Amino acid sequence: MTPLRALMIKQMEVDRLAPKTQQAYLNAVRGIARFYQRSPDQLDNKEIESYIHHLLTERKLAWSSVNVAVNALAFLYVKTLGWDRPKLKLPRCRKRLRLPEILSAEELERLFAAPTHPKHRALLMTTYAGGLRVSETVHLKLVNIDSQRMVIRIEQAKGAKDRYTMLSSRLLEELRRYWRACQPTSWLFPGRDHERPMNVSTAQRVYTRAKRQAGIVRGPGIHTLRHSFATHLLETGVDLRTIQSLLGHTSLNTTMRYLKVDRTRVLATASPLDLIGVLKETPTT
In this prediction, residue 64 has a pLDDT band, given cuts at 50, 70 and 90, of: confident
Cβ pair 113, 131 in contact under 8 A: no
Domain positions in the chain: 3-87, 105-265
In angstroms, rounded to a whole number, what is the distance separating the alpha carbons of residues 202 and 208?
10
**pLDDT at position 231:** 87
Catalytic-labelled residue, pool 25, 77, 178, 258:
258
- 87-109: pLDDT as tens digits: 656 666 565 556 778 899 999 99
Cβ pair 167, 145 in contact under 8 A: yes
- 165-180: pLDDT as tens digits: 999 999 999 999 999 9
- 46 as an active site residue: the answer is no
Give the lowest-confidence range in 31-40, 156-165, 214-223, 233-242.
Answer: 156-165
- CATH architecture for residues 105-265: Orthogonal Bundle (1.10)
Count of CB atoms situated within 10 Å of the CB of 232: 20
- 258 as an active site residue: the answer is yes
Catalytic-labelled residue, pool 5, 110, 119, 223:
223
- 133 as an active site residue: the answer is yes
**Is 56's pLDDT higher than 70?**
yes
Give the single-character DSSP code of 79.
Answer: I
Pairing of strands 161-166, 145-146: unpaired
**Is 160's pLDDT higher than 80?**
no
Catalytic-labelled residue, pool 79, 158, 163, 257:
158
In angstroms, rounded to a whole number, what is the distance separating the alpha carbons of residues 32 and 22?
16
Catalytic-labelled residue, pool 120, 121, 226, 232:
226
Strand order in the sheet with 161-166: 145-146, 151-157, 161-166
Instruction: Render 177-208 in DSSP notation, one character per residue.
Output: HHHHHH--SSBSSB-TTSSSBPPHHHHHHHHH
Query: For residues 236, 109, 145 and 183, what is the CA-based torsion angle, rounded to 10 degrees?
Result: 170
- 227 as an active site residue: the answer is no
- 139 as an active site residue: the answer is no
Same fold, 3-87 and 105-265: no
**pLDDT at position 26:** 94
What CATH code is assigned to 3-87? Answer: 1.10.150.130
**Is 158's pLDDT higher than 90?**
no
Q: What is the pTM of this model?
A: 0.68
Catalytic-labelled residue, pool 133, 139, 211, 232:
133
